[in-house]
Amino acid sequence: MSDSPLSSESPDLCLASGSPRRQALLTRMGVRFVTVAQDVDEQVLADESPEVFVIRLALEKARAGLSGRPTPDTPVLGADTAVVIDDEILGKPQDADAARAMLERLAGRTHRVLTGVALVDGEQEATRLSLSSVSLRMIDPAEIEAYWASGEPADKAGAYAIQGLGGVFVEQLEGSYSGVMGLPLFETHDLLGEFGIAYQRHWATEAR
């Protein structure tokens, strides 16, 4: 378990994710949190829809984090994001050839990005789903090679990051920018409200 920039002796919640992007988004909200380790199998099950897949993994990650929380009543937040085209979930590229194939497939087309968010405390569980449509422009092969050489696509679902260099490929977005990044702020806020987590009380302090 490690502390976030906004963590305290009494965090609002635990984040079951090592993603710097999710940590940054939660910090941007003003939520005080600590991170907890989680280890789940991220394989897609037979006949599992992308919507069910991201919600299931978000829940499994949150549940896995329960054992590492600092107090028995600290809620745990989990999230999972999937890039989907032609009803196929694109994971993280294993090598340059896989990244090239993904970007060539996404270029000039519109795909879906789904992020499931789950909050659990051992007794109560709640989930939310964010769905966005992202259109990429045509991408020159030389750009793809330069992008892979940057190192950014290697650990990104769909082989691009909207908040990074890959943002130059995005022609249009309908939905949640933060959801495409990996943690939709609207849905996360909604979940925290359902659990009575008034994270806004930190705003005055953090703004100073």
pLDDT, tens digit (0-9, with 9 covering 90-100), for 191-208: 999 999 999 998 987 655
pLDDT, tens digit (0-9, with 9 covering 90-100), for 111-145: 999 999 999 999 999 999 999 999 999 999 999 99
**115 neighbors 54 (Cβ within 8 angstroms):** yes
Name the pairing type of β-strands 33-35 and 13-15.
Answer: parallel
pTM: 0.91
Mean pLDDT score, 96-102: 96
Residue entry with tokens 């394989």 = 43
Mean pLDDT score, 74-103: 95
**102 neighbors 158 (Cβ within 8 angstroms):** yes
Structure tokens at 21: 């992007």
Task: Provide the pLDDT for residue 39.
Answer: 83
Q: Is 121 a catalytic residue?
A: no
Confidence of residue 42 (pLDDT cuts 50, 70, 90): confident
How far is Cα 153 from Cα 148, in angstroms, rounded to an integer? 6
Whole-number average pLDDT of the chain? 92
* pLDDT > 70? residue 54: yes
Task: Provide the pLDDT for residue 10.
Answer: 84
pLDDT, tens digit (0-9, with 9 covering 90-100), for 61-88: 999 999 999 899 999 999 999 999 999 9
**119 neighbors 77 (Cβ within 8 angstroms):** yes
* pLDDT > 60? residue 4: no
Torsion from C-alpha of 30, 35, 36, 38, nearest 10 degrees: 90
Domain at 2-207: CATH code: 3.90.950.10
Name the pairing type of β-strands 76-85 and 88-90.
Answer: antiparallel
Task: Provide the pLDDT for residue 114.
Answer: 97
Catalytic residue among 47, 80, 86, 155: 80
